[in-house]
Amino acid sequence: MIDDVLGIPDQLRDALWRLESARLEAAPAAGLFVCGMGGSAIGGDLAAAALGDRLTGPMLTVRGYALPSWATPEWTVLCSSYSGQTEETLACFEAAEALGARRVVASTGGALVDRAREAGVPVVGLPGIFQPRAAVAYGIVIAAEFASLAGIAPRVHTEIDAAAAFLTEQAEALQQQAREISALVAGAAPVIYGSDLTVPVARRWKTQVNENTKAPAWWGELPEADHNEILGWTGASGDERAAAIFLEDRDQHPRVGRRFELTSEAIQPGAAAVARVETAGETRLERLLWAVMLGDLVSLELARQRGVDPVPTEAIDRFKEAMG
């Protein structure tokens, strides 16, 4: 999967090409729901964080079987499922129809695309060559584009092109940094903390460790963790100690920077290791994608250290079979 991660810049460019080819029309909306699960959902969170205060309306990720009870027909509903078979996303697709909201789809095929074609719903096709979680760049770009088409965000195609070039330049340095972080936290369950821009990135790091490394991991956010979670580190000892990774944004609020510093100092005695990472890049989009790519590389390096194949998802597959 290393090639998939290093290929994120190419994914960004290909996603733009696919959007241009789809010839989508603008449709002003009250807001945007991004409905999906797992790797198909995180793109919505990441896109919203990258857009930040440039969002002029709500952009919310729905992970489940239903839209919020307060949803209205004036919203746009993006149903994202890499396989096209995700039952929660299919349920949201039907719920959006019942609501009378505008629907759009991103998928490789499956029942979701079949239903979309039958209903005349626009579809952005995805390449079917990845593990769903490895197609994260497509999810980010497509969610950002539909936010723009809904009239709640500016178009960011130029920024995406620039980010692709930046990540290509950073590839070697990112791999080296991933090796250093992995060596530091090896053998301990990581807890990844973010703030503002890096909150969904922390969630992404956590799930990538779960799926690629086949290991437990958790995520949290500052300043909230300073009001409760910080106490959880004070009683840890011996084998139960976890490793903390702090994802700091170079443009974060000064008080948040101070919190990262003090929090890392406070938990140090109860942690197996503490790593502090600061984002690189000019725009929010560049910095977010840089941090996503680093986290993916860390998860793969941890898998290599453990002698684990990052590709199979047997436990998830068995669970889906049991659900029927």
- Nearest partner of 25 among 145, 177, 179, 165, judged by Cα: 145
Per the annotation, the verdict on 320 as an active-site residue is yes
Between CA 78 and CA 82 the distance in angstroms is 13
Catalytic: which of 25, 118, 227, 314?
Answer: 227
Catalytic residue among 88, 145, 211, 301: 211
**Residues with active-site annotation:** 211, 227, 320
